[in-house]
Structure 1
Amino acid sequence: MAAQVSLLAYLQQGPPTLSVISQGQTHDNTTSSKYGARDIGETYTWNSFNIGTIMSQYGHHLRNTSIHLETIPNSPPQPINAEAGLRSRFDTYLIRHIRRAMQRSFQEFQASDQLGQRTALDFGEGNLACLKHGYTPDTAYFDPLLVAQTRPNRAPGDFKPSYKWSRDFENSPNPATERQFKQALSQVNFYMRQNNTRYGFLLTNRELVAIQKPDNTGRLLLSPQIPWEAQGNPAQPQMTVILALWYLGMLASDPQGSYLAGGLPA
């Protein structure tokens, strides 16, 4: 029988490092007539997206909720050379742990009558939520009790190889690199606008950056970079990718904070 560990210990795991094969791939991000770098205004640091905030809000829950231990595979991953490879490695190393942690939290909230107005969300491929005009994010947080064609994506996510996007591109002296920084953000911003939601993220083979959209003016709050392979332990917890995506699910589960003014999306 699998050992029981705290949810905090479970979420302190990290995947092995991913390498990239250089094969002359384009460094340009997806373009569309519906969105572009021009849509993104000022970007700011989402300073409160950190381990201190999480432990202040959920420390008791994370330390006192148990879950069957399932370790992240430690087999050396194949390198990637495209977004499809990154999606595949995400599925291999991370998605199951994020889903299990979220499910365990919502079970505990329901059992202790602490769910309140939250929605017990699930997490998976972008096409598991409703698709608007054929645009499909890579991932979705969604209400599994709603019909797939109608359930909004509470926090759309997108994958980019590190040669296409990094938060470090934000301050590049090269205008083309800065444009690609905003181009990738504009894609997630568009998905967020479609779903009238406040949260989203970008994930590369090197880092996760959570995104908050305070309004529809093009301003975005970006979390500090969270390394792909980051790990910690309950004694010295660190912000890991699976902890950050679990926390994004907790934020997205609250309808009072997850949607922009105007109510729930149609």
Structure 2
Amino acid sequence: MESYGYGGGFAEDDYDDGYGRRRPQDYQRSDLDALAEIEPYTTLATYLTSRNPPILGPMESANLRRRNAKSPDYAFIWWDIRNTRQWNTFNLQTILATPDLERLLSMPIPQSELPEPAIDDEVLQQGDRMAFLTIVRDYFCTKVTAALAQSVGQRSHQNLSMMLGSELGSSADIAGVYQSPSRPHGQIRVAGFVKSCREWNTMMQAGGDERRREFLQVLSQLQRYMRDHGTRYGYVLTEQELVCVRLATDAENRPIFGCLDIANPIQWNQHGQNRLSICLALWFLHFLAKRDPLPNWAGWDVEVPSAEECSRRYCMSKDPWVPDPRRDEVELARVKRGWGEAEEPYAYGENFR
């Protein structure tokens, strides 16, 4: 069995999480009291399920336009998403059922090793995209990265972090980065996009065709990035909810174009013990990107064939709720990117876009 803090097998008498700590069950009540007298301690479960900073309302910005279905980037277009499936296994019960994970979340850790970020009221009240990205960077990236540092352990020589894509020159708003001696410059393994809840929310899927196009356009942007980087896991974060996403694959781990597994949304104000909070979900999604896959969970990497192999043609019939594109939209897409719909044959120009 793998010790998450060690990265390899261990014998029962040789347990070491990489930090020289014992299992929670090895601590007696007197041990914990003595530990608290030396330095206050907490647990990853407590740290990751605390209340998020209060945001007063939706993001507003002079640059925010209802652009999703109107002016798409033709590298990805809303009708590229053909199917959505419910990712029912992404829930707190299944996460805690992963071997050793509940033990890891309940292990006592000095509070000094898990900093609690403070967000200025001015930033919380500013209510625009830049302020929201600041909250994401200073709060979520700080907490998730600190929790990952405690989770992976020093002996594994792995470093997992969550940071803004702009810091990496990435087109994703947020990126989960893996570093190791063999990858000192980092490798993006989790993709995240930030949207206003006015721009994207899960209720759009139940709306009219125009709202569904906007809903699908954001998912097509996420799919494009995940396929380009061979990452299985991604998410969309708004000031209202977090939605975790997984690339759908077949039994041979071959990605199915246009098909995404979508977990139930996690609300911004969801917090407290025995609840799946945004921080806890982001931590686990990034934890899935470590070197060794977790038991009963697929690893982060998905091998997407090159454009010449035309892997987009490996797809399923569209779900009935997905609108059909207009003929002029498809023709314009062919001009811009070389192909309109997924079933079309390979176009020479698409390899250069």
Does the CA contact (< 8 Å) of 1:86 and 1:161 recur in 2? no
Does the CA contact (< 8 Å) of 1:124 and 1:139 recur in 2? yes
Counterparts of 1:138-177 in structure 2, within 5 Å, are 138-145=173-180, 146-148=183-185, 151-172=186-207, 174-177=208-211
Is 1:60 equivalent to 2:100 in the alignment? Answer: no
Deviation at residue 32 of structure 1 after TM alignment: 0.9
Is 1:13 equivalent to 2:47 in the alignment? Answer: no
Does the CA contact (< 8 Å) of 1:12 and 1:232 recur in 2? yes
Question: Structure 1 residues 73 and 2 mapped into 2: Cα distance closer, same or farther (>3 Å)?
Answer: farther
Is 1:79 equivalent to 2:122 in the alignment? Answer: no
Task: Report the residue type matching 1:138 in the other structure.
Answer: D
Does the CA contact (< 8 Å) of 1:128 and 1:140 recur in 2? no
Does the CA contact (< 8 Å) of 1:165 and 1:184 recur in 2? yes
Does the CA contact (< 8 Å) of 2:230 and 2:302 recur in 1? yes
Is 1:239 equivalent to 2:276 in the alignment? Answer: yes
Is 1:220 equivalent to 2:276 in the alignment? Answer: no
In structure 1, C-alpha distance between the alignment counterparts of 2:50 and 2:88, rounded to whole Å: 23
In structure 2, C-alpha distance between the alignment counterparts of 1:27 and 1:202, rounded to whole Å: 17
Is 1:48 equivalent to 2:86 in the alignment? Answer: no
Does the CA contact (< 8 Å) of 1:21 and 1:79 recur in 2? no
Report the TM-score, using the length of structure 2 for normalisation: 0.63
Query: Which residue of structure 2 lines up, in the alignment, with residue 124 of structure 1?
Result: 163
Larger relative contact order, structure 1 or 2 (CA cutoff 8 Å, min sep 6): 1
Number of residues of Structure 1 aligned to a counterpart in Structure 2: 246
Question: Structure 1 residues 10 and 176 mapped into 2: Cα distance closer, same or farther (>3 Å)?
Answer: same
Task: Report the residue type matching 1:71 in the other structure.
Answer: E
Deviation at residue 99 of structure 1 after TM alignment: 0.7
Match of 1:34 among 44, 52, 75: 75
Deviation at residue 79 of structure 1 after TM alignment: 3.5
Does the CA contact (< 8 Å) of 1:213 and 1:220 recur in 2? yes
Task: Report the residue type matching 2:190 in the other structure.
Answer: A
Does the CA contact (< 8 Å) of 1:13 and 1:72 recur in 2? no
Task: Report the residue type matching 1:137 in the other structure.
Answer: A
Task: Report the residue type matching 2:139 in the other structure.
Answer: Y
DSSP 3-state at the match of 1:15:
coil
Does the CA contact (< 8 Å) of 1:20 and 1:79 recur in 2? no
Question: Structure 1 residues 261 and 73 mapped into 2: Cα distance closer, same or farther (>3 Å)?
Answer: same
Question: Structure 1 residues 155 and 262 mapped into 2: Cα distance closer, same or farther (>3 Å)?
Answer: same
Does the CA contact (< 8 Å) of 2:137 and 2:164 recur in 1? no
Match of 2:225 among 178, 183, 191: 191
In structure 1, C-alpha distance between the alignment counterparts of 2:80 and 2:128, rounded to whole Å: 25
DSSP 3-state at the match of 2:189:
coil
DSSP 3-state at the match of 1:246:
helix
> Which residues of structure 2 form unaligned runs of 5+?
1-37, 249-254, 294-298, 306-353
In structure 1, C-alpha distance between the alignment counterparts of 2:119 and 2:126, rounded to whole Å: 17
Question: Structure 1 residues 64 and 161 mapped into 2: Cα distance closer, same or farther (>3 Å)?
Answer: same
In structure 2, C-alpha distance between the alignment counterparts of 1:78 and 1:9, rounded to whole Å: 23
- 1:4-30 per-residue CA deviation (whole Å, 9 max, x = no partner) reads 101111111121332126577422237
Match of 1:201 among 235, 238, 241: 235
DSSP 3-state at the match of 2:226:
helix
> Which residues of structure 1 form unaligned runs of 5+?
none
In structure 1, C-alpha distance between the alignment counterparts of 2:217 and 2:132, rounded to whole Å: 19
Does the CA contact (< 8 Å) of 2:234 and 2:244 recur in 1? yes
In structure 1, C-alpha distance between the alignment counterparts of 2:190 and 2:201, rounded to whole Å: 20
In structure 2, C-alpha distance between the alignment counterparts of 1:2 and 1:176, rounded to whole Å: 56
Deviation at residue 259 of structure 1 after TM alignment: 1.0
DSSP 3-state at the match of 2:196:
coil
DSSP 3-state at the match of 2:190:
coil
Task: Report the residue type matching 1:199 in the other structure.
Answer: Y
Question: Structure 1 residues 168 and 219 mapped into 2: Cα distance closer, same or farther (>3 Å)?
Answer: same
Deviation at residue 224 of structure 1 after TM alignment: 0.7
